[in-house]
């Protein structure tokens, strides 16, 4: 009587993950190659496929780690967070959080933020594109009405704040040639990730402008967001920052702020 399908599959996967599974009896041992050797081919595939997917999603982290350390890290991470999707592009989702715990307080603590930046790029690349706002209609709004507006950001916008120079680290690994060395003590960076002209864009923002965008993404009105930005930097140039938002194409259709904050689409 052959083993039931669900039982066989559960044991097979457990065996690939290195757990005691008692699967050997369900596998033919002919052709001069042992069951253990046959299973080892699949176990090798399991780890290689996972590590390759991670490396594609996290090329800068992989470069920072070096091949040997990255392989160990990928293996550890896979044990802790096995793939939960048939879509390989999803396997890396829990990695930033995993690294945050794994390297908390140590010399590699910044790995988590580098990974968060790389994952933000991945998400940005696959996000939907919302309709752009009608900038002419926006321009015709009175100053008071403008302050009450809620400006939603495009679904592909991500905001990554780090106490390390993550943008500079990421930038140092782009393009051919030697990787420039980066002073980890150079201080905090706030990075805007978005998609424009079919590609992911990254830009390091001053703290006040970053705060403005965080507030807008959190659903604050333009007036509330301005107040937060000005509290960060009293010399913050609001008009110039809004102009940059429009030029980058990071704004989506606009909502007026009314009472309960539900908002009405006006553009």
Partner 1 sequence: MGLRAAHHREVLATAPDVGWFEAHSENYFADGGAALDTLSRVRERWPVALHGVGLGLGSAAPLDREHLRRLARLVAHIEPWAVSEHVCWGHAGGRHTNDLLPMPRTAESLRHLAARVGELQDALGRQVLLENVSSYLEFTGAQFTEAGYLAALVAESGCALLLDVNNVFVNARNHGFDAEDYFDELPLDAVREIHLAGHETTRIAGREIRIDTHDRPVCEDVWALYASARRRFGPVPTLIEWDAALPPLAILVAEAQRADAIG
Please list, in sequence order, all residues whose beta carbon lies within 8 angstroms of the beta carbon of residue 16, skipping any fewer than 6 positions away: 39, 42, 43, 46
Q: Restricting to residues 35-54, name those near partner 1 by CB under 8 A.
A: 35, 37-39, 41-42, 45-46, 49-50, 53
Give Cα 62 distance to the centre of its chain: 15
**Min dist. Cβ of residue 48 to partner 1 (A):** 10
- Please say which residue, 33 or 258, places its beta carbon nearer to partner 1: 33
Backbone phi, psi, residue 35, to 5°: -60, -40
Report the phi/psi class of residue 253: left, alpha or beta, with left for phi > 0 and alpha for psi in -120 to 50: beta
Answer yes or no whether residue 20 interacts with partner 1 by CB under 8 A: no
Residue 98 CA to residue 77 CA, distance in Å, equals: 7
Q: Restricting to residues 202-261, name those near partner 1 by CB under 8 A.
A: none
- Which DSSP helix (H) or strand (E) runs through 47? helix 35-57
Answer yes or no whether residue 27 interacts with partner 1 by CB under 8 A: yes
Choosing from 93, 125, 148, 246, the residue that interacts with partner 1 (CB under 8 A) is 125
Answer yes or no whether residue 66 interacts with partner 1 by CB under 8 A: no
Tokens (6 digits) for 238: 């609001």
Tokens (6 digits) for 194: 């978005």
Contact residues: partner 1, CB under 8 A: 1-6, 8-10, 12-14, 16-17, 25-28, 30-35, 37-39, 41-42, 45-46, 49-50, 53, 82-89, 91, 125-129, 155-156, 195, 198-199
């Amino acid at each position: 009587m052959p083993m039931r399908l669900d039982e066989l599959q559960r044991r097979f996967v457990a065996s690939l993950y290195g757990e005691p599974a008692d699967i050997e009896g369900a596998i033919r041992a002919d052709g001069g190659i042992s069951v253990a050797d046959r299973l080892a081919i699949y176990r090798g595939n399991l780890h290689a496929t996972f590590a390759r997917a991670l490396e594609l999603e996290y090329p800068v982290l992989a470069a920072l780690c070096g091949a040997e350390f990255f392989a160990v890290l990928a293996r550890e991470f896979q044990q802790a967070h096995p793939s939960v999707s048939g879509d390989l592009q999803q396997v890396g989702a829990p990695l930033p959080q995993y690294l945050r715990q794994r390297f908390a307080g140590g010399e590699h603590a910044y790995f988590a933020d580098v990974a968060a930046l790389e994952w933000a790029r991945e998400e940005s690349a696959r996000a939907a594109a919302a309709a752009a706002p009608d900038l002419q209609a926006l321009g015709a709004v009175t100053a008071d009405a403008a302050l009450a507006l809620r400006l939603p950001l495009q679904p592909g916008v991500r905001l990554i704040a780090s106490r390390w120079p993550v943008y500079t680290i990421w930038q140092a690994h782009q393009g051919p040639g030697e990787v420039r060395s980066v002073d980890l003590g150079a201080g905090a960076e706030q990075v805007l990730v978005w998609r424009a002209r079919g590609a992911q864009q990254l830009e390091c923002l001053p703290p006040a402008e970053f705060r403005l965008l965080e507030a807008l993404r959190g659903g604050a009105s333009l007036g509330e967001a301005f107040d937060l930005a000005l509290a960060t930097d009293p010399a913050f140039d609001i008009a110039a920052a809004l102009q940059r938002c429009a030029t980058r194409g990071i704004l989506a259709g606009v909502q007026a702020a009314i009472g309960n904050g539900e908002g009405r689409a006006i553009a």
